[in-house]
Amino acid sequence: MSFPPLKAVPELRPAPGQPVTFEFVRDHPRVRNYIRLADASLEQIGYTEHGERHVGLVSRIAHNVLKRMGYPERDCELAAIAGILHDIGNAVNRDHHAQTGAVMAMQILNDFGMDDLEVLRVIAAIGNHHENDGEAVNPVAAALILADKSDVHRTRVRNPDMIRFDIHDRVNYAVEKSFLNVDDDRKHITLELTIDSNISHVMEYFEIFMTRMMASRKAAKYLGATFGLSVNGNRLV
């Protein structure tokens, strides 16, 4: 079988003296290629959606978390940039994808001409976003963790056959609505879920997402806030 040759990606950079913006990173052909191919790799091994919908949503939520908590606009934009790039390491391998993605993002952002100190903040966030081996080491990382862990929803499930759902498919498919509520006055962040308990029991959510909730609690604490979970209007933690 023969494949068409890869098309060269144009070497686009911001205008001299201009910062690297979220819109520039999001729309760059190289970034879009990386996101799509990383998601395609996960689809082959049966993982839920991690493509443009997911990273776009994570970007918006991460930006909103820092904005609501009173951080400067550039910090909010760096969180959005980290969100759009955070899963590109899946193009290499699912294991250690956070650290791999951080190295890949470093090369991309250096090529775009981003300031070194900003690059370091973004790649630290990407390299620490996975709940099993990451920590909220800076505000951008904390916002990225909270945003990434809040994207639980049935639209992420690729498998059309409910009979063949594993627990991850079942739990995600059961979630009809998810919203990360940032109460800046009370300094409290709540993940609000609406779950169809006929598809998956709430206990199944805790079975697979407990480490994610612990990571979210640590991230909220780093930002000077508390973290809670509400399911179907009932406060659980």
List pLDDT tens digits, range 90-131. Answer: 999 999 999 999 999 999 999 999 999 999 999 999 999 999
Look up tokens 């709430």; give the residue.
202
Section 134-140 average pLDDT? 97
Lowest mean pLDDT among 25-34, 80-89, 156-165: 156-165
Instruction: Specify the pLDDT at position 11.
Output: 61
Residue 89 has pLDDT above 70, yes or no: yes
The closest of 120, 101, 97, 138 to 222, measured between CA atoms, is: 138
| Rounded Cα gap, residues 57 and 148, in angstroms | 9
Q: Which residues of 49-63 are buried (b: 16+ CB within 10 A; e: fewer)?
A: bbbeebbebbbbbbb
- Check if the beta carbon of residue 128 is closer than 8 Å to that of residue 145: yes
Of 233, 223, 226, nearest to 69 (Cα)?
A: 223
Q: Could you give the CA distance from residue 71 to residue 180 in angstroms, rounded to a whole number?
A: 17
- Cβ atoms within 10 Å, residue 237: 15
For residues 236 and 140, which has the higher predicted lDDT (pLDDT)?
140
- Are 169 and 157 in contact, with CB atoms under 8 Å apart? yes
Specify the pLDDT at position 9: 57
198 Rama sector, left if φ>0, alpha if ψ -120 to 50, beta otherwise: alpha
Question: What is the reported pLDDT for 219?
Answer: 98
Taking only Cα atoms into account, the Rg of the chain, rounded to an integer number of angstroms, comes to 18
* Amino acid letter for position 113: G
- Write down the pTM of the prediction: 0.91
Q: What is the distance between the terminal CA atoms of the chain, rounded to a whole angstrom?
A: 54
132: exposed, middle or buried (Cβ count in 10 Å: 0-12, 13-18, 19+): exposed
Burial (CB count <10 Å: 0-12, 13-18, 19+), residue 160: exposed
Domains and CATH numbers, the chain: 22-235 (1.10.3210.10)
Query: How many C-beta atoms surround the C-beta of residue 43 within 10 A?
Result: 14
Asked if 161 and 169 count as a contact pair (C-beta separation under 8 A), the reply is no
Residue 207 has pLDDT above 70, yes or no: yes
Please tell me the least confidently modeled range out of 28-32, 45-49, 68-72.
45-49
Question: pLDDT-derived band of residue 3, with 50, 70 and 90 as boundaries?
Answer: very low
Distance CA 168, CA 4 (A): 36
Tokens of 169: 């498919």
Torsion of CA 105, 110, 112, 116, to 10 degrees: 110
